[in-house]
Amino acid sequence: MSNSTRDNHDVFGKCYQPTKADELREFQRYVIFRVFDSGQTPEVVVGGRRMILLGSNNYLGLSFHAQVKEAARLALEKYGTGCAGSRYLNGNLDLHERLERRLAGFFGKEAAVVASTGYQSNLGTIACLLNRGEVVITDKLDHASILDGCRMSLGSMVRYRHNDMDDLERLLKQYSDRAKLIVVDGVFSMEGDLVNLPPVIDLAKRYGTRVMVDDAHGIGVLGERGRGTVEHYGLLEEVDLITGTLSKSLAGIGGFVAGQARVVEWIKHASRPQMFSASLPPATTAGVIAALEVIDSRPGLRKRLWDNRQRLKQGLNDLGYDTGQTQSPIIPVIIGNEPLMLKFVVELAEKGVFCNPVGSPAVPRGREMIRTSVMAEHTREQMDRVVEAFKEVGLENGLIN
């Protein structure tokens, strides 16, 4: 069918209508799908320009750690590049089961199961646990993978106002006669604040409700031993399920869920994403195992990460920027206006700083922000250069005095 014959009966018709992406390209504000010519190190090359990378979730810098890369190399030589099948059939390696045992021990749980992405872990776990008549209760700022898992399930999803325990209790009372699961992010990925977990656990006990925490951005970052948000609050034994991604501090790709052995066994055999996806590549799996070992053996990486985080946050706050309620190495700079936010990101890039633009639907309209995130491998000098870039762009655009 030629372009000229497309009409309302052509499913492709919508693709040829003007889009937001077309508009952003026209005004040179297209700041997504930027092309990296280098890896996720503190300084990167993007579109031929060298920049300080302030938009990566490689919090501990382990994607370039020698021990992690060597483990991946050895696995590549032994197992090849991929498994060419799902774990149900031909794709279950001894490496996968070794990683699962390591993750279970890391979080002090009976068992764990890994999946091909963190998104699939949440999608498959929630979808296979909720039957008709059962209820999943989520925070309004939970990650899209949680919401999509709820929609894919047979249960009903209800949402409470962000970190509002009165609203959560209202829903628990309303559905007191139903089987329920509370699902929350440990670290909220855009704002960088933490779930108010202790009262969530108290309410869950009072109303006989299970609790699942997605700690994608907390693992390796929070807690005395890097076990994440749940360890930060001293509640590892109280949370029923911990899910997360292997693609942030753990320097790979994939996801996991850890919890009681019988529950994990159910998820392992009932999750459709698990059933119908190829298994994790061997090199990635071995690299994640090595990353877990580095987290245990090098606690100084976490200290450097938090030192960098404090230096950047203090510098931005001293300039007068609103960084919200962040309690993590994710530091939002709230602009509140989408065109200005996009302009700001472009101008920061021109000054050698790569940051992420965040607008609707990731955050509500009027809450548009620049999402920054620091790494342990950043230097003090790089943090100071970033603050200076924010000062110059902010002054040029009248955002700070």
**1-5, 163-167, 388-392: the lowest-pLDDT one:** 1-5
CATH code of the domain containing 350: 3.90.1150.10
Is the pLDDT confidence value at 329 over 90? yes
State how many domains the chain has.
2
CA distance 102 to 292: 8
Is 378 considered catalytic here? Answer: no
- How confident is residue 25, by pLDDT bands cut at 50, 70 and 90? confident
Q: Are residues 252 and 305 in the same domain?
A: no
CA distance 217 to 245: 8
Is the pLDDT confidence value at 299 over 80? yes
Burial label, 179 (beta-carbon count in 10 A; 0-12, 13-18, 19+): middle
Segments forming the whole domain that contains residue 42: 17-53+299-396
Using the 3D structure, point to which of 269, 297, 325 is the last residue of a domain.
297
- Per-residue confidence (pLDDT) for residue 322, from 0 to 100: 96
**28-37, 117-126, 369-378: the lowest-pLDDT one:** 28-37
Per the listing, tokens 């764990």 go with 112
- Average of pLDDT values for 266-280? 94
- Per-residue confidence (pLDDT) for residue 15, from 0 to 100: 92
Q: Are residues 75 and 223 in the same domain?
A: yes
pLDDT in tens, 144-157: 999 999 999 999 99
Is the pLDDT confidence value at 264 over 60? yes
CATH code of the domain containing 106: 3.40.640.10
The reply to whether 361 falls in a domain is yes
Using the 3D structure, point to which of 297, 331, 347 is the last residue of a domain.
297
Residues of the chain with pLDDT > 70: what percent? 98
Secondary structure (H, E, C), the chain: CCHHHCCCCCCCHHHHCCCHHHHHHHCCCCCCCCCECCCCCCEEEECCEEEEECECCCCCCHHHCHHHHHHHHHHHHHHCCCCCCCCCCCCCCHHHHHHHHHHHHHHCCCEEEEECCHHHHHHHHHHHHCCCCCEEEEECCCCHHHHHHHHHCCCEEEEECCCCHHHHHHHHHHCCCCCEEEEEECECCCCCCECCHHHHHHHHHHCCCEEEEECCCCCCCCCCCCCCHHHHCCCCCCCCEEEEECCCCCCCCCEEEEECHHHHHHHHHHCHHHHCCCCCCHHHHHHHHHHHHHHHHCCHHHHHHHHHHHHHHHHHHHHCCCCCCCCCCEEEEECCCHHHHHHHHHHHHHCCEECEEECCCCCCCCCCEEEEECCCCCCHHHHHHHHHHHHHHHHHCCCCC
Q: What does pLDDT average to over the chain?
A: 95
Q: Are residues 384 and 252 in the same domain?
A: no
The Cβ-side half-sphere exposure at 47, using a 13 Å CA radius, reads 11
φ and ψ at residue 54, rounded to 5 degrees: -120, 30
Q: Which two tokens stand for residue 315?
A: 């510098």
Q: Are residues 293 and 306 in the same domain?
A: no
Is the pLDDT confidence value at 82 over 80? yes
- Per-residue confidence (pLDDT) for residue 6, from 0 to 100: 59
Is the pLDDT confidence value at 362 over 80? yes
**Residues for the chain: how many in total?**
401
Is the pLDDT confidence value at 229 over 80? yes
- How confident is residue 5, by pLDDT bands cut at 50, 70 and 90? low
* Global pTM value: 0.94
Q: In what order do the strands lie in the sheet with 156-160?
A: 111-115, 255-259, 241-245, 210-214, 180-185, 135-139, 156-160
- Non-local (6+) Cβ contacts of 216 within 8 A are 118, 143, 185, 186, 187, 189, 243, 244, 245, 248
Q: Are residues 304 and 290 in the same domain?
A: no
Is 162 considered catalytic here? Answer: no
To the nearest 10 degrees (0 to 180), the angle between helices 282-297 and 94-107 is 30
String of b and e for 124-161 (b: at least 16 CB within 10 Å)?
Answer: bbbbbbbeeebbbbbbebbbebbbebbeebebbbbbbe
Is the pLDDT confidence value at 18 over 60? yes
Is 38 considered catalytic here? Answer: no
CA distance 297 to 310: 23
Closest CA to 345 of 100, 133, 55, 120: 55
- Average of pLDDT values for 11-18? 91
> Is the omega angle on the peptide bond into residue 339 within 30 degrees of 0, that is, cis?
no
pLDDT in tens, 234-245: 999 999 999 999
- Per-residue confidence (pLDDT) for residue 346, from 0 to 100: 95
The reply to whether 170 falls in a domain is yes
Q: Which residue among the candidates 217, 268, 343, 378 is catalytic per the annotation?
A: 217
- Per-residue confidence (pLDDT) for residue 1, from 0 to 100: 54
Q: Which residue among the candidates 145, 189, 247, 249 is catalytic per the annotation?
A: 189
Q: Are residues 266 and 356 in the same domain?
A: no
Q: Which residue among the candidates 65, 96, 180, 248 is catalytic per the annotation?
A: 248
Q: Are residues 316 and 212 in the same domain?
A: no
Closest CA to 288 of 335, 244, 326, 322: 244
- How confident is residue 391, by pLDDT bands cut at 50, 70 and 90? very high
- Per-residue confidence (pLDDT) for residue 3, from 0 to 100: 56
- Per-residue confidence (pLDDT) for residue 268, from 0 to 100: 96
- Torsion from C-alpha of 104, 109, 113, 117, nearest 10 degrees: -80
Closest CA to 301 of 68, 127, 136: 68
- Per-residue confidence (pLDDT) for residue 401, from 0 to 100: 83
Is the pLDDT confidence value at 97 over 60? yes
Q: Are residues 224 and 78 in the same domain?
A: yes
Q: Are residues 205 and 94 in the same domain?
A: yes
- Average of pLDDT values for 204-213? 98
Q: Are residues 80 and 194 in the same domain?
A: yes
- How confident is residue 2, by pLDDT bands cut at 50, 70 and 90? low
